[in-house]
C-alpha cells in the first residue's frame, strides 16, 4: 500500500457505506481514523466532517481520506477548497486509477446513494494500488497557486 493511514468520515446519508468500509479495513488490517458521524439517524452537516478529514490528510504524510455523503458532490467540493487536497468524486475503478496516476489524488469521495459498496471497495483498492506518474507533476504544481 502506498499510504500509511486512512482518514474516513461521512454525514448521516453516507454512514452505512462508511461503516462497511471500516469493517473492510479491519478485515484487511488497515489502520484508519474514523472522524464520524456515528449514526444515520441524526442529521449532520457534511462540511464539518469533510474539514476534519482534509485537516488530517494535510497534516499527515502519506495519508489518504475517504468521504461519503449521499451524492459525494458536497464532500468533494468542501475537500477541494483546502490547499494540497486533491479530492475526486469516484464512481468507477478507471476514475480511481486515473485520479491517482494523473492527479495524485489523496481523497476519495463516494456517493452512497449512487454507488454500491462492492464497487466502492474495488475503487478504493485500485486507488491505493495505483502510483502517481511523476510526469504529471508540472500540472499539479499549477493547482495550489
Catalytic site includes residue 60: no
Q: How confident is the model at residue 123 (pLDDT cuts 50, 70, 90)?
A: very high
Active-site annotation holder among 60, 82, 102, 136:
102
Q: Domains of the chain: which residue ranges?
A: 5-141
CA-to-CA separations, 36 to 8, 49, 50, 52, in angstroms, rounded: 8, 7, 10, 9
Q: Read off the pLDDT of each residue in 89-117 and give the average, rounded to a whole number.
A: 97
Positive/negative CA dihedral, 47, 70, 104, 135: negative
pLDDT score, position 59: 96
Fold of 5-141: Ribose 5-phosphate Isomerase B; Chain: A, (3.40.1400)
* pTM for the structure as a whole: 0.96
pLDDT score, position 1: 60
Amino acid at each position: 500500500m502506498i499510504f500509511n493511514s486512512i482518514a474516513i468520515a461521512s454525514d448521516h446519508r453516507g454512514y452505512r457505506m462508511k461503516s462497511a468500509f471500516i469493517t473492510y479495513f479491519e478485515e484487511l488490517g488497515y489502520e484508519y481514523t474514523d472522524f464520524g458521524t456515528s449514526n444515520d439517524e441524526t442529521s449532520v452537516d457534511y462540511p464539518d466532517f469533510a474539514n476534519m478529514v482534509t485537516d488530517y490528510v494535510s497534516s499527515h504524510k502519506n495519508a489518504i481520506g475517504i468521504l461519503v455523503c449521499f451524492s459525494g458532490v458536497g464532500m468533494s467540493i468542501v475537500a477541494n477548497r483546502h490547499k494540497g487536497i486533491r479530492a475526486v468524486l469516484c464512481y468507477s475503478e478507471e476514475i480511481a486509477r486515473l485520479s491517482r496516476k494523473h492527479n495524485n489524488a489523496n481523497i476519495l469521495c463516494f456517493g452512497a446513494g449512487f454507488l454500491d459498496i462492492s464497487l466502492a471497495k474495488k475503487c478504493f483498492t485500485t486507488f491505493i494500488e495505483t502510483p502517481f506518474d511523476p510526469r504529471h507533476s508540472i500540472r499539479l504544481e499549477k493547482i495550489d497557486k
